[in-house]
A and B are shown apart, each in its own frame.
Chain A
């Protein structure tokens, strides 16, 4: 069946350094939609990014991701981490049912 893999359970970075959270997926669906959701402490998840176009960069709130169907990847990146970026990040795949990754906890230290 379809699946989403987030290899890092925890990423700890110093403020100002670049962020990259990995997301790869498996699906038989030729046109998947990929999402990044962010969940700050004591809050509910909310959409950060969404894409379905191959090789097109999607940006929002300083974060960006590019869907690469050739490598089945949708990594989340940011050029310079901020303390407020500390949160839980979920990658998800939609083939009419939303398939979630296990999440990556990002901790940004001063």
Chain B
């Protein structure tokens, strides 16, 4: 019974389009994160949120926009998609931001054609 739900599991998009990746966690955690992992790069931190506020942003491109409508939601909007955006995007959460262990969702595998 997954406690961090990511939707969809697989996503195919065309170059230039826009997609939203969904993440909901049911662990009662206060901090949520987005990570990206591609064949070319290891696990790459993107954003962290704490109590629905952006805390850290390591993503250079403004095409990536996190959206937190509820405390247990952190969606990721990606605009003007490029083939290089193809990767698995992992949502994660922790009790609080700090020295807490991270729990990861199963990921959304995005392929941009």
Residues of A within 8 A of B (CB): 33, 35, 37, 39, 43-47, 50, 52, 88, 90, 94, 96-98, 100-103
Chosen A-B contacts, 19 in total, with CB atoms closer than 8 Å, are A33-B99, A39-B43, A44-B90, A44-B104, A44-B106, A44-B107, A45-B102, A45-B104, A47-B102, A50-B101, A90-B42, A96-B97, A96-B99, A97-B56, A98-B45, A100-B43, A100-B45, A102-B42, A103-B43
Residues of chain A with a CB closer than 8 A to B43's CB: 39, 45, 90, 100, 103
Chain B's closest residue to A104 (CB) is B42
Q: Mark B81-113, 1 if CB is under 8 A from A, else 0.
A: 000000000100000011101111111000000
Given contact pairs A44-B90, A97-B56, A100-B42, a sample of 7 additional A-B residue pairs in the complex whose CB atoms are under 8 Å apart = A44-B107, A46-B104, A90-B42, A96-B98, A97-B48, A100-B43, A100-B44
Chain A's closest residue to B107 (CB) is A44
Give the docked Cα–Cα distance between A12 and B56 (Å): 36
Q: Are A94 and B107 in contact (CB under 8 A)?
A: no
The 4 closest A-B pairs by CB, nearest first: A44-B104, A33-B99, A103-B42, A47-B101
Chain A's closest residue to B98 (CB) is A96
